[in-house]
């Protein structure tokens, strides 16, 4: 009997913790302070890596004139389980020229 009660208590506690748990993906970053630091045409990949660490993903894009760019993406999401209530998402995309200098960037944020 005690064993069943103990198991039931553990399951109830696990469910309560899950219901109140916050899930996070990626690494959080402050968009407004970063925007104050980034300068198109002078900020380098090395500086961005120092400020934010390694990007969540990296890719390459080619514009209509054939110029090739390195694209870095930083991502962060958080919300309460289950159902991801209060979901908040941040996305930062940076484009670097062949010298490793920021040519452009965009960011977006959603949630409360």
45 within some domain:
yes
- What does the pLDDT read at residue 9? 44
pLDDT at position 84 is: 61
| Count of domains forming the chain | 1
Answer with the residue of higher pLDDT: 13 or 39.
39
Q: Is the pLDDT of residue 23 over 90?
A: no
Identify the pLDDT of residue 67.
92
In a domain, 51, yes or no: yes
DSSP lists the bridge partners of residue 89 as: 77, 110
Determine the pLDDT at residue 44: 97
- Residue in 37, 41, 36, 25 with CA at minimum distance from that of residue 74: 25
Domain for residue 4, yes or no? Answer: no
Residue 75: the pLDDT is: 87
The boundaries of the domain holding residue 88 are: 22-110
Q: Is residue 30 part of a domain?
A: yes
- Per DSSP (E only), the strands in the chain are 22-26, 57-62, 68-80, 85-96, 102-110
CATH number at residue 87: 3.30.1450.10
Would you call 72 exposed, middle or buried from its count of C-beta atoms within 10 A (0-12, 13-18, 19+)? buried
Record the tokens describing residue 13, joined without a space. 């506690």
What pLDDT, in 10s, does the model give residues 26-43? 888 888 888 899 999 999
Residue 29 lies in a domain: yes
In a domain, 12, yes or no: no
87: in domain: yes
């Amino acid at each position: 009997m005690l064993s069943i009660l103990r198991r039931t208590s553990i399951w109830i506690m696990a469910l309560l913790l899950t219901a109140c748990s916050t899930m996070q993906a990626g690494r959080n970053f402050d968009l407004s302070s970063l925007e104050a630091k980034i300068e198109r045409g002078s900020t380098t990949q090395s500086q961005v890596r120092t400020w934010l660490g390694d990007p969540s993903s990296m890719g390459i894009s080619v514009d209509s004139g054939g110029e090739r760019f390195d694209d870095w993406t930083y991502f962060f999401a958080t919300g309460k389980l289950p159902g991801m209530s209060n979901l908040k998402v941040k996305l930062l995309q940076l484009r670097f020229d062949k010298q490793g200098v920021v040519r452009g960037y965009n960011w977006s944020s959603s949630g409360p």
